[in-house]
Structure 1
Amino acid sequence: MMKSIESKGWLEYESGHAWCESAYKYNTHPLIAEFANTVTNLPIIVLPLVNAMMMRKYIRKVNSGVVWPNLLLAFNGIASTYYHATLNLFGQLVDELSILWILNIFLVVYIPVMQWFPEKHKKNIPLFRWSVIILASFISTLCFFEPNLNALALMTYTIPGSMVVHYEGKHANLPEIANFPRRIFILWGLAISCWFSDRLVCDLWLYLGIPYLHAIFHLLSSVAAYNIFVMFNMIDIEKRNKEHKFTASIRYFPSKASTIWSLPYIIMREKNF
Protein backbone atom coordinates (compact mmCIF):
# COMPACT_ATOMS: atom_id res chain seq x y z
CA MET A 1 0.00 0.00 0.00
CA MET A 2 2.77 2.46 0.96
CA LYS A 3 4.57 1.67 -2.29
CA SER A 4 1.41 2.52 -4.20
CA ILE A 5 1.03 5.83 -2.35
CA GLU A 6 4.65 6.78 -2.98
CA SER A 7 4.50 5.90 -6.67
CA LYS A 8 1.22 7.59 -7.46
CA GLY A 9 0.99 10.39 -4.91
CA TRP A 10 -1.95 11.54 -2.83
CA LEU A 11 -3.67 13.20 -5.77
CA GLU A 12 -3.94 9.85 -7.57
CA TYR A 13 -3.98 7.28 -4.78
CA GLU A 14 -7.50 6.04 -4.14
CA SER A 15 -8.47 6.26 -0.48
CA GLY A 16 -8.81 2.98 1.39
CA HIS A 17 -12.29 4.03 2.48
CA ALA A 18 -15.09 4.20 -0.04
CA TRP A 19 -18.82 4.62 0.44
CA CYS A 20 -21.49 2.16 -0.58
CA GLU A 21 -22.12 3.89 -3.90
CA SER A 22 -18.54 3.10 -4.95
CA ALA A 23 -19.75 -0.39 -5.90
CA TYR A 24 -21.13 1.40 -8.98
CA LYS A 25 -18.24 3.84 -9.36
CA TYR A 26 -17.85 5.57 -12.72
CA ASN A 27 -21.07 3.92 -13.99
CA THR A 28 -23.10 7.12 -14.20
CA HIS A 29 -20.29 9.34 -15.47
CA PRO A 30 -16.82 8.22 -16.61
CA LEU A 31 -15.10 11.09 -14.74
CA ILE A 32 -17.05 10.90 -11.46
CA ALA A 33 -16.53 7.96 -9.10
CA GLU A 34 -19.60 8.39 -6.87
CA PHE A 35 -22.10 10.45 -8.84
CA ALA A 36 -24.89 10.86 -6.24
CA ASN A 37 -22.40 11.48 -3.43
CA THR A 38 -20.76 14.13 -5.59
CA VAL A 39 -23.76 16.14 -6.81
CA THR A 40 -25.48 16.16 -3.39
CA ASN A 41 -22.74 18.43 -2.10
CA LEU A 42 -24.34 21.35 -3.96
CA PRO A 43 -26.51 22.43 -0.98
CA ILE A 44 -23.44 22.34 1.27
CA ILE A 45 -21.83 24.88 -1.04
CA VAL A 46 -24.85 27.06 -1.78
CA LEU A 47 -26.70 27.33 1.56
CA PRO A 48 -23.90 28.92 3.63
CA LEU A 49 -23.18 31.38 0.83
CA VAL A 50 -26.86 32.36 0.78
CA ASN A 51 -26.73 32.78 4.55
CA ALA A 52 -23.65 35.02 4.32
CA MET A 53 -25.29 37.07 1.57
CA MET A 54 -28.40 37.61 3.70
CA MET A 55 -26.14 38.75 6.56
CA ARG A 56 -23.77 40.86 4.45
CA LYS A 57 -24.61 44.25 6.03
CA TYR A 58 -24.30 42.83 9.53
CA ILE A 59 -21.03 41.13 8.63
CA ARG A 60 -19.63 44.33 7.18
CA LYS A 61 -20.73 46.67 9.98
CA VAL A 62 -20.89 44.58 13.16
CA ASN A 63 -19.24 41.15 13.24
CA SER A 64 -17.03 40.21 10.31
CA GLY A 65 -16.18 36.88 11.99
CA VAL A 66 -19.63 35.51 11.10
CA VAL A 67 -18.53 35.05 7.50
CA TRP A 68 -15.79 32.50 8.28
CA PRO A 69 -17.90 29.49 9.34
CA ASN A 70 -20.07 30.05 6.26
CA LEU A 71 -17.07 30.19 3.92
CA LEU A 72 -15.54 27.11 5.54
CA LEU A 73 -18.76 25.14 5.11
CA ALA A 74 -18.92 26.12 1.44
CA PHE A 75 -15.27 25.08 1.10
CA ASN A 76 -16.12 21.75 2.75
CA GLY A 77 -18.80 21.23 0.10
CA ILE A 78 -16.21 21.81 -2.63
CA ALA A 79 -13.72 19.49 -0.90
CA SER A 80 -16.37 16.79 -0.47
CA THR A 81 -17.32 17.14 -4.14
CA TYR A 82 -13.70 16.57 -5.15
CA TYR A 83 -13.32 13.65 -2.74
CA HIS A 84 -16.38 11.73 -3.91
CA ALA A 85 -15.60 12.45 -7.55
CA THR A 86 -12.08 11.03 -7.25
CA LEU A 87 -12.03 8.96 -4.03
CA ASN A 88 -8.38 9.91 -3.56
CA LEU A 89 -6.72 10.28 -0.18
CA PHE A 90 -5.99 13.98 -0.59
CA GLY A 91 -9.68 14.69 -1.14
CA GLN A 92 -10.64 12.64 1.92
CA LEU A 93 -8.18 14.49 4.17
CA VAL A 94 -9.18 17.96 2.94
CA ASP A 95 -12.87 17.06 3.37
CA GLU A 96 -12.35 15.86 6.96
CA LEU A 97 -9.95 18.62 7.98
CA SER A 98 -12.34 21.29 6.72
CA ILE A 99 -15.09 19.80 8.93
CA LEU A 100 -12.75 19.92 11.92
CA TRP A 101 -11.97 23.58 11.27
CA ILE A 102 -15.63 24.49 10.71
CA LEU A 103 -16.44 23.17 14.18
CA ASN A 104 -13.58 24.96 15.86
CA ILE A 105 -13.90 28.29 14.01
CA PHE A 106 -17.63 28.21 14.74
CA LEU A 107 -16.74 28.00 18.43
CA VAL A 108 -14.17 30.79 18.09
CA VAL A 109 -16.67 33.12 16.38
CA TYR A 110 -19.73 32.55 18.55
CA ILE A 111 -18.23 31.93 21.99
CA PRO A 112 -18.73 35.59 23.10
CA VAL A 113 -22.51 35.26 22.75
CA MET A 114 -22.93 31.73 24.12
CA GLN A 115 -24.83 31.41 27.39
CA TRP A 116 -22.92 28.38 28.66
CA PHE A 117 -19.59 30.21 28.71
CA PRO A 118 -19.19 31.57 32.30
CA GLU A 119 -19.61 35.33 32.51
CA LYS A 120 -16.67 35.64 34.90
CA HIS A 121 -14.35 34.22 32.22
CA LYS A 122 -15.48 36.53 29.40
CA LYS A 123 -12.29 38.53 29.80
CA ASN A 124 -10.33 35.40 28.90
CA ILE A 125 -12.09 34.86 25.56
CA PRO A 126 -8.98 35.77 23.48
CA LEU A 127 -6.98 33.13 25.39
CA PHE A 128 -9.76 30.60 24.92
CA ARG A 129 -9.89 31.31 21.19
CA TRP A 130 -6.17 30.78 20.76
CA SER A 131 -6.37 27.58 22.78
CA VAL A 132 -9.07 26.27 20.42
CA ILE A 133 -6.99 27.16 17.35
CA ILE A 134 -3.85 25.51 18.75
CA LEU A 135 -5.80 22.38 19.72
CA ALA A 136 -7.39 22.23 16.27
CA SER A 137 -3.95 22.53 14.67
CA PHE A 138 -2.66 19.66 16.81
CA ILE A 139 -5.64 17.43 16.01
CA SER A 140 -5.20 18.27 12.32
CA THR A 141 -1.78 16.62 12.33
CA LEU A 142 -3.25 13.46 13.88
CA CYS A 143 -5.68 13.14 10.98
CA PHE A 144 -2.82 12.03 8.73
CA PHE A 145 -1.87 8.99 10.81
CA GLU A 146 -5.03 6.88 10.46
CA PRO A 147 -7.33 8.52 7.89
CA ASN A 148 -9.95 5.76 8.08
CA LEU A 149 -10.70 6.73 11.70
CA ASN A 150 -11.09 10.45 11.03
CA ALA A 151 -14.78 10.37 10.17
CA LEU A 152 -15.63 8.35 13.28
CA ALA A 153 -13.55 10.69 15.43
CA LEU A 154 -15.37 13.72 14.00
CA MET A 155 -18.68 12.10 14.87
CA THR A 156 -17.72 12.36 18.55
CA TYR A 157 -18.20 16.13 18.21
CA THR A 158 -21.91 15.37 17.85
CA ILE A 159 -22.32 14.79 21.58
CA PRO A 160 -20.98 18.10 22.96
CA GLY A 161 -22.24 19.91 19.86
CA SER A 162 -25.80 18.70 20.44
CA MET A 163 -25.62 19.80 24.06
CA VAL A 164 -24.49 23.30 23.07
CA VAL A 165 -27.19 23.66 20.37
CA HIS A 166 -29.91 22.56 22.79
CA TYR A 167 -28.70 24.77 25.64
CA GLU A 168 -28.21 27.90 23.55
CA GLY A 169 -31.48 27.50 21.69
CA LYS A 170 -33.49 27.06 24.89
CA HIS A 171 -31.79 29.85 26.84
CA ALA A 172 -31.61 32.51 24.12
CA ASN A 173 -35.11 33.85 24.98
CA LEU A 174 -35.83 34.28 21.28
CA PRO A 175 -39.26 32.86 20.32
CA GLU A 176 -38.30 32.75 16.62
CA ILE A 177 -35.60 30.12 17.25
CA ALA A 178 -37.29 28.21 20.07
CA ASN A 179 -38.09 25.31 17.72
CA PHE A 180 -34.67 25.24 16.06
CA PRO A 181 -33.02 22.68 18.39
CA ARG A 182 -35.85 20.26 17.64
CA ARG A 183 -35.56 20.89 13.87
CA ILE A 184 -31.79 20.44 14.00
CA PHE A 185 -31.93 17.23 16.08
CA ILE A 186 -34.49 15.63 13.76
CA LEU A 187 -32.48 16.50 10.64
CA TRP A 188 -29.16 15.48 12.17
CA GLY A 189 -30.65 12.30 13.67
CA LEU A 190 -31.91 11.25 10.24
CA ALA A 191 -28.60 12.24 8.65
CA ILE A 192 -26.42 10.30 11.06
CA SER A 193 -28.71 7.27 10.72
CA CYS A 194 -28.07 7.36 6.97
CA TRP A 195 -24.32 7.75 7.54
CA PHE A 196 -24.05 4.69 9.77
CA SER A 197 -26.46 2.66 7.61
CA ASP A 198 -24.29 3.32 4.56
CA ARG A 199 -21.20 2.09 6.40
CA LEU A 200 -22.63 -0.81 8.37
CA VAL A 201 -25.28 -2.40 6.16
CA CYS A 202 -24.02 -1.58 2.68
CA ASP A 203 -24.71 -5.14 1.50
CA LEU A 204 -28.41 -4.64 2.18
CA TRP A 205 -28.56 -1.42 0.14
CA LEU A 206 -26.63 -3.06 -2.69
CA TYR A 207 -29.09 -5.97 -2.64
CA LEU A 208 -31.98 -3.49 -2.85
CA GLY A 209 -30.15 -1.51 -5.55
CA ILE A 210 -30.19 1.80 -3.60
CA PRO A 211 -26.67 2.47 -2.26
CA TYR A 212 -27.38 6.18 -1.84
CA LEU A 213 -27.67 6.62 1.93
CA HIS A 214 -24.52 8.74 2.08
CA ALA A 215 -25.94 11.05 -0.58
CA ILE A 216 -29.06 11.48 1.56
CA PHE A 217 -26.74 12.17 4.51
CA HIS A 218 -25.24 15.07 2.54
CA LEU A 219 -28.65 16.63 1.93
CA LEU A 220 -29.91 16.24 5.49
CA SER A 221 -26.67 17.33 7.18
CA SER A 222 -26.35 20.40 4.95
CA VAL A 223 -29.83 21.58 5.95
CA ALA A 224 -29.11 20.81 9.63
CA ALA A 225 -25.86 22.81 9.52
CA TYR A 226 -27.62 25.67 7.75
CA ASN A 227 -30.26 25.75 10.51
CA ILE A 228 -27.50 25.90 13.13
CA PHE A 229 -25.91 28.88 11.37
CA VAL A 230 -29.23 30.73 11.16
CA MET A 231 -29.95 30.03 14.83
CA PHE A 232 -26.60 31.32 16.05
CA ASN A 233 -26.74 34.33 13.74
CA MET A 234 -30.01 35.33 15.41
CA ILE A 235 -28.42 34.87 18.83
CA ASP A 236 -25.42 36.96 17.78
CA ILE A 237 -27.65 39.75 16.47
CA GLU A 238 -29.65 39.82 19.70
CA LYS A 239 -26.64 39.66 22.04
CA ARG A 240 -24.89 42.50 20.19
CA ASN A 241 -27.99 44.71 19.97
CA LYS A 242 -26.17 47.59 21.68
CA GLU A 243 -23.55 47.56 18.94
CA HIS A 244 -25.84 48.02 15.94
CA LYS A 245 -29.14 49.36 14.62
CA PHE A 246 -30.41 46.22 12.91
CA THR A 247 -33.60 44.28 13.49
CA ALA A 248 -33.83 40.70 12.30
CA SER A 249 -36.65 38.25 11.67
CA ILE A 250 -36.87 34.75 10.23
CA ARG A 251 -38.81 33.77 7.12
CA TYR A 252 -39.19 30.33 5.55
CA PHE A 253 -38.90 28.96 2.02
CA PRO A 254 -40.81 27.65 0.13
CA SER A 255 -43.73 27.78 2.59
CA LYS A 256 -44.34 30.57 5.08
CA ALA A 257 -44.87 28.07 7.88
CA SER A 258 -42.06 26.57 9.92
CA THR A 259 -41.89 22.90 8.92
CA ILE A 260 -39.04 20.45 9.23
CA TRP A 261 -38.36 20.64 5.48
CA SER A 262 -38.66 24.42 5.05
CA LEU A 263 -35.50 26.51 4.84
CA PRO A 264 -35.25 29.44 7.27
CA TYR A 265 -33.56 32.66 6.26
CA ILE A 266 -32.92 35.95 8.02
CA ILE A 267 -34.43 39.24 6.91
CA MET A 268 -32.48 42.23 8.25
CA ARG A 269 -33.60 45.82 8.42
CA GLU A 270 -31.68 48.83 9.64
CA LYS A 271 -33.47 51.03 12.13
CA ASN A 272 -34.03 54.65 11.20
CA PHE A 273 -33.91 57.10 14.10
Structure 2
Amino acid sequence: MGVIPSDKYDRIGILEVLEVLEVLEILLKSRKKWMDNLDAMGSSLDLMQTGLQIIWPLRPGTSKVDWCEDNYTFSPIVAELVNTVSNLLFLLLPPLLIFLFQPYGKLIQKEIHIIWILLFVIGAASAYFHATLSLLGQLLDELSILWAAIIGTTIWFPSRLLPNKLLLENRRLFRFLVAGIGLVCSVLCCIHPPFNAFALLSLVTPGMVLLYGELRRCHDSRVVRLGIRSTITWVVAIMCWINDRVFCDVWSSVQFPYLHGAWHILVCIAGYCSCVLFAYFYAVEEFPHRTLTLEYWPSPRFPELFSVPYINLNKGRLQKIV
Protein backbone atom coordinates (compact mmCIF):
# COMPACT_ATOMS: atom_id res chain seq x y z
CA MET A 1 0.00 0.00 0.00
CA GLY A 2 1.42 3.42 -1.07
CA VAL A 3 1.98 6.33 1.28
CA ILE A 4 -0.12 9.51 0.70
CA PRO A 5 2.04 12.62 0.43
CA SER A 6 1.73 15.15 3.23
CA ASP A 7 0.87 18.00 0.87
CA LYS A 8 -2.18 16.01 -0.26
CA TYR A 9 -3.26 15.80 3.41
CA ASP A 10 -2.99 19.56 3.59
CA ARG A 11 -5.16 20.01 0.50
CA ILE A 12 -7.81 17.64 1.87
CA GLY A 13 -7.85 19.53 5.21
CA ILE A 14 -8.20 22.87 3.48
CA LEU A 15 -11.10 21.56 1.38
CA GLU A 16 -12.85 20.26 4.48
CA VAL A 17 -12.38 23.58 6.24
CA LEU A 18 -13.77 25.41 3.22
CA GLU A 19 -16.78 23.12 3.12
CA VAL A 20 -17.40 23.73 6.80
CA LEU A 21 -17.12 27.47 6.25
CA GLU A 22 -19.58 27.30 3.37
CA VAL A 23 -22.04 25.39 5.54
CA LEU A 24 -21.61 27.96 8.32
CA GLU A 25 -22.18 30.78 5.83
CA ILE A 26 -25.36 29.11 4.59
CA LEU A 27 -26.54 28.64 8.17
CA LEU A 28 -25.82 32.28 8.99
CA LYS A 29 -27.72 33.45 5.92
CA SER A 30 -30.61 31.18 6.81
CA ARG A 31 -30.59 32.50 10.37
CA LYS A 32 -30.62 36.09 9.08
CA LYS A 33 -33.55 35.34 6.78
CA TRP A 34 -35.33 33.60 9.62
CA MET A 35 -34.80 36.60 11.91
CA ASP A 36 -35.97 38.96 9.16
CA ASN A 37 -39.08 36.84 8.73
CA LEU A 38 -39.68 36.95 12.47
CA ASP A 39 -39.35 40.74 12.45
CA ALA A 40 -41.77 40.95 9.53
CA MET A 41 -44.17 38.64 11.31
CA GLY A 42 -43.86 40.75 14.45
CA SER A 43 -44.63 43.91 12.49
CA SER A 44 -47.59 42.19 10.87
CA LEU A 45 -48.84 41.05 14.25
CA ASP A 46 -48.48 44.59 15.59
CA LEU A 47 -50.45 45.92 12.63
CA MET A 48 -53.09 43.24 13.11
CA GLN A 49 -53.32 44.05 16.81
CA THR A 50 -53.67 47.76 16.04
CA GLY A 51 -56.31 47.00 13.44
CA LEU A 52 -58.22 44.82 15.87
CA GLN A 53 -58.10 47.58 18.47
CA ILE A 54 -59.53 50.00 15.91
CA ILE A 55 -62.32 47.75 14.66
CA TRP A 56 -63.14 46.21 18.05
CA PRO A 57 -65.74 48.88 18.93
CA LEU A 58 -67.47 48.06 15.62
CA ARG A 59 -68.06 44.44 16.58
CA PRO A 60 -71.59 43.46 17.66
CA GLY A 61 -71.98 42.96 21.38
CA THR A 62 -68.98 45.07 22.43
CA SER A 63 -71.19 47.50 24.38
CA LYS A 64 -71.71 46.74 28.05
CA VAL A 65 -75.23 48.18 27.82
CA ASP A 66 -77.95 45.62 27.10
CA TRP A 67 -81.63 46.46 27.36
CA CYS A 68 -84.51 44.26 28.46
CA GLU A 69 -85.53 43.07 25.00
CA ASP A 70 -84.14 39.62 24.19
CA ASN A 71 -81.37 39.65 21.61
CA TYR A 72 -81.77 38.17 18.11
CA THR A 73 -85.30 36.92 18.84
CA PHE A 74 -86.95 38.16 15.64
CA SER A 75 -83.92 38.40 13.36
CA PRO A 76 -80.50 36.72 13.19
CA ILE A 77 -78.83 40.00 12.15
CA VAL A 78 -80.64 42.58 14.33
CA ALA A 79 -79.97 42.31 18.05
CA GLU A 80 -83.00 44.23 19.36
CA LEU A 81 -85.57 44.54 16.60
CA VAL A 82 -88.27 46.46 18.51
CA ASN A 83 -85.74 48.89 19.99
CA THR A 84 -84.32 49.40 16.50
CA VAL A 85 -87.59 49.95 14.61
CA SER A 86 -89.00 52.22 17.33
CA ASN A 87 -86.53 54.91 16.21
CA LEU A 88 -88.45 55.37 12.96
CA LEU A 89 -90.19 58.52 14.22
CA PHE A 90 -86.77 60.17 14.69
CA LEU A 91 -86.14 59.62 10.98
CA LEU A 92 -89.54 60.76 9.70
CA LEU A 93 -90.12 63.95 11.73
CA PRO A 94 -86.94 65.99 10.99
CA PRO A 95 -87.55 66.38 7.21
CA LEU A 96 -91.10 67.58 7.95
CA LEU A 97 -89.87 69.96 10.66
CA ILE A 98 -87.20 71.39 8.35
CA PHE A 99 -89.96 72.10 5.82
CA LEU A 100 -92.37 73.62 8.36
CA PHE A 101 -89.68 75.80 9.96
CA GLN A 102 -88.33 77.30 6.72
CA PRO A 103 -89.77 80.79 7.41
CA TYR A 104 -88.53 80.63 11.00
CA GLY A 105 -85.06 79.64 9.82
CA LYS A 106 -84.92 82.52 7.35
CA LEU A 107 -86.29 85.29 9.57
CA ILE A 108 -85.50 84.24 13.15
CA GLN A 109 -82.77 81.64 13.56
CA LYS A 110 -81.27 79.41 10.89
CA GLU A 111 -79.49 77.29 13.53
CA ILE A 112 -82.79 75.61 14.35
CA HIS A 113 -82.27 73.28 11.39
CA ILE A 114 -79.15 71.92 13.13
CA ILE A 115 -81.46 70.66 15.88
CA TRP A 116 -83.71 68.87 13.39
CA ILE A 117 -80.69 67.30 11.70
CA LEU A 118 -79.38 66.13 15.07
CA LEU A 119 -82.76 64.54 15.83
CA PHE A 120 -82.33 62.51 12.64
CA VAL A 121 -78.77 61.59 13.66
CA ILE A 122 -80.02 60.52 17.10
CA GLY A 123 -82.55 58.17 15.50
CA ALA A 124 -80.03 56.70 13.06
CA ALA A 125 -77.37 56.24 15.76
CA SER A 126 -79.85 54.69 18.17
CA ALA A 127 -81.11 52.28 15.51
CA TYR A 128 -77.52 51.27 14.69
CA PHE A 129 -76.72 50.76 18.37
CA HIS A 130 -79.74 48.59 19.11
CA ALA A 131 -79.23 46.62 15.90
CA THR A 132 -75.62 45.76 16.77
CA LEU A 133 -75.14 46.51 20.50
CA SER A 134 -71.66 47.72 19.51
CA LEU A 135 -69.59 50.15 21.56
CA LEU A 136 -69.35 52.51 18.58
CA GLY A 137 -73.14 52.52 18.26
CA GLN A 138 -73.50 53.30 21.96
CA LEU A 139 -71.07 56.24 21.74
CA LEU A 140 -72.72 57.63 18.59
CA ASP A 141 -76.14 57.36 20.22
CA GLU A 142 -75.14 59.04 23.46
CA LEU A 143 -72.91 61.73 21.94
CA SER A 144 -75.56 62.78 19.42
CA ILE A 145 -78.02 63.30 22.30
CA LEU A 146 -75.36 65.21 24.24
CA TRP A 147 -74.64 67.55 21.35
CA ALA A 148 -78.32 68.14 20.64
CA ALA A 149 -78.63 69.35 24.24
CA ILE A 150 -75.42 71.41 23.95
CA ILE A 151 -76.47 73.16 20.74
CA GLY A 152 -79.99 73.71 22.05
CA THR A 153 -78.50 75.43 25.09
CA THR A 154 -76.25 77.67 22.99
CA ILE A 155 -79.01 78.91 20.71
CA TRP A 156 -82.03 79.10 23.03
CA PHE A 157 -80.78 79.97 26.50
CA PRO A 158 -82.50 83.27 27.43
CA SER A 159 -80.19 86.28 27.36
CA ARG A 160 -81.83 87.75 30.46
CA LEU A 161 -80.64 84.73 32.49
CA LEU A 162 -76.97 84.92 31.49
CA PRO A 163 -75.03 85.29 34.76
CA ASN A 164 -72.32 87.66 33.60
CA LYS A 165 -72.49 91.06 31.91
CA LEU A 166 -69.69 90.00 29.56
CA LEU A 167 -71.70 86.95 28.49
CA LEU A 168 -74.82 89.06 28.12
CA GLU A 169 -73.04 91.49 25.80
CA ASN A 170 -71.25 88.76 23.86
CA ARG A 171 -73.48 85.74 23.31
CA ARG A 172 -70.83 84.22 21.05
CA LEU A 173 -68.54 83.87 24.09
CA PHE A 174 -71.33 82.03 25.91
CA ARG A 175 -71.66 79.65 22.97
CA PHE A 176 -67.92 78.96 22.96
CA LEU A 177 -67.97 78.23 26.68
CA VAL A 178 -70.88 75.80 26.38
CA ALA A 179 -69.29 74.14 23.33
CA GLY A 180 -66.05 73.78 25.30
CA ILE A 181 -67.94 72.01 28.06
CA GLY A 182 -69.46 69.78 25.40
CA LEU A 183 -66.03 68.86 24.01
CA VAL A 184 -64.72 67.98 27.47
CA CYS A 185 -67.80 65.84 28.15
CA SER A 186 -67.40 64.13 24.78
CA VAL A 187 -63.80 63.16 25.52
CA LEU A 188 -64.73 61.90 28.98
CA CYS A 189 -67.61 59.90 27.50
CA CYS A 190 -65.27 58.20 25.02
CA ILE A 191 -62.74 57.41 27.75
CA HIS A 192 -65.35 56.33 30.30
CA PRO A 193 -68.76 55.74 28.60
CA PRO A 194 -70.79 55.56 31.86
CA PHE A 195 -69.94 59.26 32.38
CA ASN A 196 -72.35 60.12 29.57
CA ALA A 197 -75.39 59.43 31.75
CA PHE A 198 -74.16 62.04 34.23
CA ALA A 199 -73.46 64.54 31.43
CA LEU A 200 -76.94 64.14 29.95
CA LEU A 201 -78.60 64.44 33.35
CA SER A 202 -76.66 67.63 34.09
CA LEU A 203 -78.00 69.20 30.87
CA VAL A 204 -81.52 67.82 30.53
CA THR A 205 -82.63 68.48 34.11
CA PRO A 206 -81.85 72.25 34.03
CA GLY A 207 -83.49 72.34 30.61
CA MET A 208 -86.74 71.02 32.02
CA VAL A 209 -86.58 73.51 34.90
CA LEU A 210 -86.02 76.33 32.39
CA LEU A 211 -88.96 75.15 30.28
CA TYR A 212 -91.20 75.18 33.35
CA GLY A 213 -90.11 78.74 34.15
CA GLU A 214 -90.81 79.94 30.61
CA LEU A 215 -94.26 78.33 30.62
CA ARG A 216 -95.14 80.12 33.86
CA ARG A 217 -94.40 83.45 32.14
CA CYS A 218 -96.52 82.63 29.10
CA HIS A 219 -100.24 83.43 28.87
CA ASP A 220 -101.04 81.88 25.51
CA SER A 221 -103.29 78.89 26.18
CA ARG A 222 -102.17 76.98 23.08
CA VAL A 223 -98.51 77.24 24.08
CA VAL A 224 -99.27 76.27 27.67
CA ARG A 225 -101.24 73.21 26.53
CA LEU A 226 -98.31 72.09 24.40
CA GLY A 227 -96.00 72.57 27.37
CA ILE A 228 -98.23 70.46 29.61
CA ARG A 229 -98.45 67.67 27.02
CA SER A 230 -94.70 67.79 26.52
CA THR A 231 -94.04 67.57 30.27
CA ILE A 232 -96.44 64.65 30.73
CA THR A 233 -94.84 62.85 27.79
CA TRP A 234 -91.39 63.39 29.32
CA VAL A 235 -92.54 61.91 32.63
CA VAL A 236 -94.12 58.85 31.00
CA ALA A 237 -91.04 58.36 28.80
CA ILE A 238 -88.69 58.47 31.79
CA MET A 239 -90.91 56.00 33.64
CA CYS A 240 -90.66 53.62 30.67
CA TRP A 241 -86.86 53.98 30.65
CA ILE A 242 -86.58 53.29 34.39
CA ASN A 243 -88.95 50.31 34.27
CA ASP A 244 -87.08 48.74 31.36
CA ARG A 245 -83.75 49.24 33.09
CA VAL A 246 -84.63 48.40 36.70
CA PHE A 247 -87.64 46.09 36.51
CA CYS A 248 -86.71 44.03 33.47
CA ASP A 249 -87.50 40.72 35.20
CA VAL A 250 -91.03 41.87 35.98
CA TRP A 251 -91.79 42.94 32.41
CA SER A 252 -90.13 39.86 30.95
CA SER A 253 -92.35 37.68 33.13
CA VAL A 254 -95.43 39.19 31.44
CA GLN A 255 -93.84 38.81 27.99
CA PHE A 256 -93.44 42.57 27.39
CA PRO A 257 -89.74 43.53 27.53
CA TYR A 258 -90.28 46.41 25.09
CA LEU A 259 -90.59 49.51 27.25
CA HIS A 260 -87.34 50.91 25.87
CA GLY A 261 -88.99 50.97 22.45
CA ALA A 262 -91.86 52.96 23.97
CA TRP A 263 -89.23 55.31 25.45
CA HIS A 264 -87.88 56.00 21.95
CA ILE A 265 -91.30 57.01 20.62
CA LEU A 266 -92.28 59.10 23.63
CA VAL A 267 -88.93 60.86 24.02
CA CYS A 268 -88.95 61.77 20.34
CA ILE A 269 -92.38 63.42 20.73
CA ALA A 270 -91.44 65.13 24.00
CA GLY A 271 -88.06 66.22 22.65
CA TYR A 272 -89.23 67.88 19.46
CA CYS A 273 -92.20 69.52 21.22
CA SER A 274 -89.77 70.97 23.78
CA CYS A 275 -87.61 72.27 20.93
CA VAL A 276 -90.65 73.95 19.35
CA LEU A 277 -91.46 75.60 22.68
CA PHE A 278 -87.90 76.86 23.22
CA ALA A 279 -87.84 78.19 19.65
CA TYR A 280 -91.10 80.01 20.33
CA PHE A 281 -89.89 81.57 23.59
CA TYR A 282 -86.64 82.67 21.93
CA ALA A 283 -88.47 84.34 19.03
CA VAL A 284 -90.92 86.18 21.30
CA GLU A 285 -88.14 87.53 23.52
CA GLU A 286 -85.46 88.33 20.93
CA PHE A 287 -87.73 89.45 18.06
CA PRO A 288 -90.72 91.16 19.70
CA HIS A 289 -91.54 93.01 16.47
CA ARG A 290 -92.21 89.75 14.60
CA THR A 291 -95.71 88.35 14.26
CA LEU A 292 -95.93 84.63 14.96
CA THR A 293 -98.34 81.96 16.10
CA LEU A 294 -98.10 78.37 17.21
CA GLU A 295 -99.79 76.26 14.54
CA TYR A 296 -100.40 72.56 13.95
CA TRP A 297 -99.80 70.48 10.85
CA PRO A 298 -101.56 69.20 8.79
CA SER A 299 -104.62 71.30 9.68
CA PRO A 300 -106.01 73.37 12.57
CA ARG A 301 -109.06 71.10 12.47
CA PHE A 302 -106.93 68.11 13.48
CA PRO A 303 -106.78 67.35 17.22
CA GLU A 304 -103.64 68.92 18.69
CA LEU A 305 -102.67 65.62 20.29
CA PHE A 306 -102.23 63.99 16.87
CA SER A 307 -100.73 66.97 15.03
CA VAL A 308 -97.23 68.37 14.57
CA PRO A 309 -96.70 71.79 16.21
CA TYR A 310 -94.67 74.46 14.44
CA ILE A 311 -94.24 78.25 14.47
CA ASN A 312 -95.98 80.27 11.79
CA LEU A 313 -94.66 83.77 11.09
CA ASN A 314 -97.41 84.81 8.70
CA LYS A 315 -100.29 85.36 11.11
CA GLY A 316 -101.24 87.48 14.08
CA ARG A 317 -98.91 88.22 16.90
CA LEU A 318 -99.01 86.10 20.01
CA GLN A 319 -99.52 87.57 23.43
CA LYS A 320 -96.16 88.70 24.72
CA ILE A 321 -94.50 86.82 27.57
CA VAL A 322 -94.23 88.94 30.70
* TM-score interval (norm. to shorter): 0.7 to 0.9
Distance 1:114 1:226, change over 3 A: farther
- Report what 2:58 is aligned to: 11
Residue from 161, 173, 181 that aligns with 2:207: 161
For structure 1, list consecutive stretches of 5 or more residues without a partner in the other structure: none
Distance 1:13 1:175, change over 3 A: same
- Report what 1:33 is aligned to: 79
Deviation (angstroms), 1:257: 3.9
Q: Deviations over 1:1-51 (max 9, x none)?
A: x99x73851111521111011x2x222122211011001111122223322
Deviation (angstroms), 1:205: 1.3
- Report what 2:39 is aligned to: none
For structure 2, list consecutive stretches of 5 or more residues without a partner in the other structure: 1-48, 316-322
Tell me how large the CA RMSD over aligned residues is. Answer: 2.8
Q: Could you tell me the TM-score, scaled by structure 1's length?
A: 0.86
- Report what 2:124 is aligned to: 78
Mapped pair 1:20 → 2:20: no
Give runs of aligned pairs for residues 173-212 of structure 1, distance below 5 A.
Answer: 173-212=219-258
> In the aligned structure 1, how far is the partner of 2:77 from the partner of 2:254?
25
Aligned length: 265
Q: Deviations over 1:89-144 (max 9, x none)?
A: 00000100011100010011112x46534695521311111000011000100002
Query: Which range is displaced more, 101-110 or 118-127?
Result: 118-127
Mapped pair 1:131 → 2:188: no
Query: Which range is displaced more, 136-145 or 121-130?
Result: 121-130
Q: Could you tell me the TM-score, scaled by structure 2's length?
A: 0.74
The alignment-based identity, stated in percent, is 31
> In the aligned structure 2, how far is the partner of 1:128 from the partner of 1:97?
21
Which is higher, the Rg of structure 1 or of structure 2? 2
Distance 1:269 1:9, change over 3 A: same
Give runs of aligned pairs for residues 51-62 of structure 1, distance below 5 A.
Answer: 51-62=97-108
> In the aligned structure 1, how far is the partner of 2:172 from the partner of 2:68?
43
- Report what 1:116 is aligned to: 161
> In the aligned structure 1, how far is the partner of 2:96 from the partner of 2:164?
33
Higher relative contact order (CA 8 A, sep 6+): 1
> In the aligned structure 2, how far is the partner of 1:169 from the partner of 1:194?
25
Mapped pair 1:268 → 2:316: no
Deviation (angstroms), 1:184: 1.9
- Report what 2:264 is aligned to: 218
Query: Which range is displaced more, 81-90 or 39-48?
Result: 39-48
Q: Secondary structure at the match of 1:16?
A: coil
Answer whether contact 1:44 1:73 (CA < 8 A) is retained. yes
